[in-house]
Each structure stands twice: as structure tokens, then as C-alpha cells.
Structure 1
């Protein structure tokens, strides 16, 4: 079974979770529960479509499915414009040790 973001440490401000030392942006917490649930369902369908297309060797379908994944992740707030308004930079996909979260990350038990 795939891991969930809740299985990993979250930054104190709730913007990222950390996997193998890398920050990954969390979904916008201001999204209504129903909207988030609908988008997560769309995301899972798009990810399944990526797998189906890859197994079929259908490059065009895979590109289309990956575009759908990107569109939904943007709608969730995990990509694209940041969902916070305090002017803090987006540090998505950066190594935590090289960001403003470095001290926080260094203090974590290094089991992730």
C-alpha cells in the first residue's frame, strides 16, 4: 500500500511534508472537505490512467494522463501558485536541509 503524507513529518507551518529529506507541498487546507474529496478522486483516476497508458505503451495517452494529474494537483494547491499569503517562498521539492526548515529538519529523528 502506498504511503500517505500523514505518514511523514509535516513542517510546523503545515505547508509541506518531508520524504527522504525532500519537501513536498501539502494540499490547501482551506479547500472545503467535499471539494478536496472530489479532487482526490480525480487525482487517483488520473494516476490510474497514467499506469494504464504506460503498460499499453501509449505515449499520447500517458502525456494526457500526466497533464490531468498536474491539473488536479494544481487545483489541490500542491503545485502552481502557493496557497498561503504571507509572501513566504515556495520550497516545494527542495531538500529540507537547504531551506528555512533546516533547523527543524535537523532536530527530527532521522528515520524518514
Structure 2
């Protein structure tokens, strides 16, 4: 896989395969603009985990890991499988996840 190519997907489309390992795919029904915003939150939270770990700050690390988890749930990569949810449940998942992450950023 080259950086400009999307990862391989399983035949059912539910997972991507990266270096031989299956990972749950992002819910394809998440609008691209929303998915991009959620990915920015995810990357920011991952950087915060790394910084907190380096600083040996367990409280900050737990908070950052919680943000990572919320972003991944909103993207459909964790939690209830998106292919088993109704369109309404899926929309609610990403809208509430984004609202929560945006609100937390506004507090900082």
C-alpha cells in the first residue's frame, strides 16, 4: 500500500487491512467534512496521550485516552458495529461525538 492509496478492505467492507492486521473501518456514512473534523480530534488526542505519557501525567493521559476513544466511537471504529446500527443511530453517534469533542476543545 502506498501513502496515496486507501488501505485494502475486507470483502464485506467492515474492516481495513493494514500490514496484515484487520482494523474496523470508519463508518462510510459519516459525511466527509465531519469525518475530517473527527480525525483532527483523534490526532490531537493521540498527541496529547504521547505528551502526557512523556510527562508521566496519569490524569492527563487518561483524559487524552478518553478523547481518543470518543473520536474512534464517533467514527464508528469502536463501540457498536456501524453495520448493525440504523441510519438514525449512526448519525446520532457521530453528531454527539463531534459535539462532545468540540465542546471540550472550547473549554481549553
Q: Normalising by structure 2, what TM-score?
A: 0.68
Check if 1:9 corresponds to 2:22. Answer: no
Corresponding residue number in structure 2 for 1:93: none
In structure 1, how many angstroms separate the alpha carbons of the residues matched to 2:55 and 2:22? 32
In structure 2, how many angstroms separate the alpha carbons of the residues matched to 1:40 and 1:26? 13
- Change in CA separation of 1:5 and 1:65 when aligned onto 2, cut-off 3 Å: farther
Q: How many residues in Structure 1 have an aligned counterpart in Structure 2?
A: 83
Gaps of 5+ in 1: 87-112
Corresponding residue number in structure 2 for 1:45: 44
Deviations 1:37-71 (A, max 9, x none): 11001001000100110111101101110111001
Following superposition, the deviation at residue 21 of structure 1 comes to 3.8
Gaps of 5+ in 2: 86-108
In structure 2, how many angstroms separate the alpha carbons of the residues matched to 1:70 and 1:4? 26
8 Å Cα contact 1:5-1:17 kept in structure 2: no
In structure 2, how many angstroms separate the alpha carbons of the residues matched to 1:85 and 1:48? 31
**Larger C-alpha radius of gyration, 1 or 2?**
1
Which gives a bigger RCO, structure 1 or 2 (Cα 8 Å, sep 6+)? 1
Following superposition, the deviation at residue 18 of structure 1 comes to 2.1
